[in-house]
């Protein structure tokens, strides 16, 4: 710890003196002591002495890859590896080894490279019979550095990769090991490398398990080398899938004696098949490829239930198809606990936030927030415990870890969304809503939070490496856009743009609780006395106006400009600034604008449709227009785009719900409060009752239409739905179904003796029809939950009709 402090203070000489003295003798492990000494010498600028130390380390530990990189850094006088230690993100570690273009002269560079090569050749000679990867990786790294220097050594780079393939190609890590070396090759050289690897694979003689590993590595490196998938025809990609599936089935007997917890041989082949089938869907928009991908993964999970990679892929595929309840079940089967909630929850949370599965969403948010809050409480105890045991590095780790979690972007989102969910759930009962709002300080807490979000730095702790290629982050889904020949694994970089975008979304959502509270109050005081419960009406209207100005800024306008856009809606003008991506925000703004207009004299709000306030009319018209428009654009077919249905659900559960609260508050204010109303108040109440009556009738019709639309989905018999699914896979013409056809044949020919007691029974009980039923029931369950939400809103509208009749 003392040496670490000196190093942080850049007192490298003092630290080296202590290390070579009596205190240094307390370090009993020689290699650890040498590593410390080499690092201190390098950071002090004595690269020659440091290189000698790291050379000794490599002689003692020839498989120390980091030790070699430090040795090479000293030879080239490149301190990148030590500088990067301070800035590396532990959650998203760098994929490649950073290095600087050496400042050495050509002669010096060649001399140092010769020294490094001699060292590596000696390591290779000493470890020829050992499965040690470092010397072979070191050979490729030397050639990479030469290439970056400008040496035209492409053949040497390729030969190093081929040599590594012959020796370690059967290992699952082969592709990730060589990826950074492949990066330096041009397109024509990559094609040449692929041909060399193919020849090497065909000439190698290996036992079945190793041969399978080599073939899997070849498929993976082929995808990496070819890059742009648009260069491959659909037929070639389908043939590749068939070849991989055949290989998986042929080698399945190798796994018959493995423990259930152990991975089967060739397990990754099914993930690769799924990935290619999804690409084919993206290119052709033929949904049969998605169905085929789901079938393949479900087949794999029937063989072994513990493959988290399959479950994550299925989770995203079912989510894309709208079977969100099934996606949630697969998420639960991952058995995510403790800190994994922070890094894995992103796979399911964004979809759940815009779904009608409120019970499941509530449980997800509650469990996650409980873990985080418990951890914050317990982290101090853990820190002091580590301190008492003199484990000082752990003290620093605990403090940094807590700080990272406290700035978690996901924690911030979950905290806000948890309250908004409760507001949605209580929106049909204004007394419940007001009680909940009072419990959250009438939204003041979130208003303060929205001001704190801007300057706050956020951390993104999601394990993005576990996400499928088509959705590299929760904000992106390539399957929703056109196929444009993007590379096989589109590379997404976390940037400040992502942080800024998230902050804007959270800041905007933080305004909602207070705006809902003020809208209820504004509607309530609109025809009452100027003083209500000790607060003066102008205070409510002025604060609501300020929040409307802030909300308009998030839409990219001033308040005056945003009002003009809203008024344009009334004149049947479809503004170019409104799209599916911001429709909910514009409708929310219009609902709150209408509530403000009820108690404010600032906004000129002429009466339209008899005695009906014009803005109120606009809100009703917009909710009716966009709900029915969106509903009618979606055919009640099993594979209709789910993104449109998500927007429909948001329309009903957000702006529709907030407008319902304004209606309830206005209606409540029309009932006698014990004091005799003035004539002007009675006239105002009469106008409002007309507006409320028309709203209730309009919105009731809208909800009835939505429920009829949902009932069309439910009306189809199960057999017809299953037939439609299998029709996608059994069309006579080209397209999806080739892998599925092989899958069906394999299921029918399962041999107990070949596959053993562990694999054979679950395969015999598994049927594609069960998977198809799951796809159907998963989507229908979500729609039924949505129907229940619509029905509950319809019931409260009927109840308001009865109340209106009493006036």
What pLDDT was estimated at residue 94?
A: 54
Q: What is the mean pLDDT of residues 352-364?
A: 97
Q: How confident is the model at residue 277 (pLDDT cuts 50, 70, 90)?
A: very high
pLDDT at res. 610:
43
Least confident of 60-74, 76-90, 632-646: 76-90
347-352, long-range: CB < 8 A, 24+ apart: 347/312, 347/315, 347/316, 347/466, 347/467, 348/315, 348/319, 349/410, 349/413, 349/414, 349/474, 350/474, 351/319, 351/324, 351/327, 352/324, 352/328
Q: Is the pLDDT of residue 92 over 70?
A: no
Q: What is the helix, strand, coil percentage profile of the chain, to 5?
A: 75, 0, 25
Q: Is the pLDDT of residue 251 over 70?
A: yes
Highest mean pLDDT among 375-379, 457-461, 469-473, 555-559: 555-559
Reply yes or no on whether the pLDDT at 39 is more than 50: yes
User: Residue 531 has what pLDDT?
Assistant: 40
For residue 321, name the pLDDT band (cuts at 50, 70, 90): very high
Task: With a cut of 60, say whether residue 604 has pLDDT above it.
Answer: no
- Residue 570 has a pLDDT of 65
d(CA 630, CA 647): 8
Q: Please tell me the predicted confidence (pLDDT) of residue 674.
A: 45
pLDDT at position 196, please?
A: 93
pLDDT at 576 over 70: yes
Q: How many alpha carbons lie under 13 Å from residue 579 in its C-beta half-sphere?
A: 3
Phi and psi for 96 in degrees, rounded to 5? -115, 160
pLDDT exceeds 90 at position 627:
yes
Q: Which residue has the higher pLDDT, 361 or 91?
A: 361
pLDDT category at 171 given cuts 50, 70, 90 is very high
State percent of the chain over pLDDT 90: 58
Does the pLDDT at position 8 exceed 90? no
Query: How far apart are alpha carbons 121 and 128 in whole angstroms?
Result: 10
pLDDT at 248 over 90: yes
- In the structure, what pLDDT confidence band is assigned to residue 5 with cuts at 50, 70 and 90? confident
pLDDT of res. 428: 94
- Across the chain, mean pLDDT equals 87
pLDDT at 397: 82
What local confidence, expressed as pLDDT, does residue 87 receive? 47
Q: Is the pLDDT of residue 529 over 50?
A: no
Residue 352: name the closest of 56, 585, 649 by CA: 649
First to last CA, the chain: 79
Residue 489 reports pLDDT greater than 50: no
Q: What is the Cα–Cα distance from 175 to 213, expressed in whole angstroms?
A: 11
CB of 278 closer than 8 Å to CB of 721: no
Position 73 pLDDT exceeds 60: yes
pLDDT of residue 551: 96
Q: How confident is the model at residue 709 (pLDDT cuts 50, 70, 90)?
A: very high
Q: Is the Cα torsion angle 137, 223, 742, 766 positive or negative in sign?
A: positive
Greater pLDDT, 495 or 774: 774
Confidence of residue 710 (pLDDT cuts 50, 70, 90): very high
pTM: 0.89
Which pLDDT score, from 0 to 100, does residue 422 have?
A: 96
């Amino acid at each position: 710890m003392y040496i670490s402090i000196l190093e942080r203070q850049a007192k490298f000489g003092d630290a080296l003196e202590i290390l070579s003295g009596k205190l240094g003798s307390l370090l009993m492990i020689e290699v650890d002591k040498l590593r410390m000494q080499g690092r201190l010498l390098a950071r002090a600028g004595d690269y020659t002495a440091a290189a000698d130390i790291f050379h000794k380390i490599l002689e003692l530990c020839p498989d120390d890859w980091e030790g070699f990189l430090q040795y090479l850094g000293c030879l080239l006088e490149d301190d990148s590896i030590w500088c990067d230690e301070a800035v590396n993100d532990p959650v998203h570690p760098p994929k490649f080894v950073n290095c600087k273009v050496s400042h050495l002269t050509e002669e010096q560079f060649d001399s140092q490279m010769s020294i490094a090569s001699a060292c590596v050749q000696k390591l290779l000679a000493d470890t020829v019979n050992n499965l040690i990867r470092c010397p072979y990786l070191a050979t490729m790294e030397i050639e990479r550095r030469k290439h970056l220097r400008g040496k035209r050594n492409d053949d040497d780079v390729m030969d190093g990769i081929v040599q590594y393939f012959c020796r370690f190609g059967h290992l699952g890590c082969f592709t990730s090991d060589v990826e950074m070396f492949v990066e330096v090759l041009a397109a024509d050289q990559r094609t040449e490398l692929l041909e060399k690897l193919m020849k090497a694979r065909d000439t190698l003689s290996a036992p079945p398990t190793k041969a399978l590993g080599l073939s899997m590595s070849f498929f993976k490196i082929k995808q990496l080398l070819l890059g742009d998938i648009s260069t491959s025809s659909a037929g070639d990609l389908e043939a590749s899938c068939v070849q991989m599936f055949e290989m998986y089935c042929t080698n399945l007997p190798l796994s018959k004696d493995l423990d259930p917890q152990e991975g089967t041989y060739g397990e990754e082949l099914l993930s690769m098949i799924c990935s290619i089938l999804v690409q084919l869907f993206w290119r052709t928009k033929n949904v049969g490829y998605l169905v085929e991908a789901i079938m393949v993964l479900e087949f794999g999970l029937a063989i072994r239930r513990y493959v988290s990679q399959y479950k994550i892929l299925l989770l995203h595929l079912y989510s894309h198809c709208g079977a969100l309840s099934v996606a949630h079940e697969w998420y639960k089967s991952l058995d995510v606990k403790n800190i994994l909630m922070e890094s894995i929850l992103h796979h399911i949370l964004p979809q759940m936030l815009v779904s009608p599965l409120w019970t499941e969403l509530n449980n997800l948010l509650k469990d996650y927030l409980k873990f985080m809050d418990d951890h914050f409480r317990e982290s101090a105890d853990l820190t002091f415990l580590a301190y008492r045991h003199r484990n000082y590095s752990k003290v620093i780790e605990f403090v940094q870890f807590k700080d990272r979690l406290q700035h978690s972007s996901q924690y911030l989102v979950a905290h806000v969304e948890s309250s908004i969910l409760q507001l949605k759930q209580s929106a049909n009962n204004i007394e419940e809503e007001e009680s909940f709002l009072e419990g959250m300080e009438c939204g003041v807490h979130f208003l303060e939070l929205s001001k704190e979000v801007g300057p706050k730095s956020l951390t993104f702790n999601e394990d993005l490496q576990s996400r499928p290629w088509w959705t590299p982050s929760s904000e992106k889904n390539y399957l929703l856009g056109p196929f444009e020949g993007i590379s096989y694994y589109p590379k997404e970089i976390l940037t400040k743009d992502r942080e800024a975008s998230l902050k804007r979304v959270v800041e905007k959502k933080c305004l909602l609780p207070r705006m809902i509270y003020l809208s209820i109050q504004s509607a309530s005081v609109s025809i009452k006395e100027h003083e209500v419960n000790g607060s003066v009406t102008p205070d409510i209207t002025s604060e609501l106006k300020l929040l409307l100005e802030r909300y308009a800024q998030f839409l990219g306008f001033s308040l005056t400009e945003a009002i003009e856009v809203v008024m344009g809606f009334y004149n049947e003008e479809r503004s170019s600034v409104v799209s599916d991506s911001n429709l909910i925000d514009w409708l929310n703004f219009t609902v709150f604008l209408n509530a403000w207009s009820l108690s404010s004299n600032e906004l000129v709000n002429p009466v339209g449709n008899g005695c009906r306030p014009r803005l109120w009319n606009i809100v009703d018209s917009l909710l009716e227009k966009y709900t029915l428009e969106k509903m009618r654009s979606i055919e009640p077919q099993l594979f209709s785009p789910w993104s449109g249905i998500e927007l429909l659900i948001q329309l009903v559960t957000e702006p529709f719900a907030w407008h319902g609260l304004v209606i309830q508050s206005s209606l409540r204010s029309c009932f006698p409060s014990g004091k005799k109303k003035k004539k002007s108040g009675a006239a105002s109440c009469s106008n409002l009752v007309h507006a409320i009556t028309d709203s209730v009738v309009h919105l009731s019709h809208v909800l009835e239409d939505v429920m009829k639309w949902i009932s069309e989905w439910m009306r189809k018999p199960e057999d017809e739905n299953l037939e439609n699914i299998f029709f996608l896979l059994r069309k006579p013409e080209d397209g999806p179904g080739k892998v599925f056809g092989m899958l069906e044949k394999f299921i029918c020919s399962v041999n107990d003796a070949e596959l053993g007691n562990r694999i054979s029974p679950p395969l015999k009980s598994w049927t594609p029809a069960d998977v198809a039923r799951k796809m159907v029931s998963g989507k229908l369950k979500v729609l039924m939950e949505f129907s229940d939400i619509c029905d509950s809103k319809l019931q409260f509208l009927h109840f308001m009709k009865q109340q209106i009749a009493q006036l």
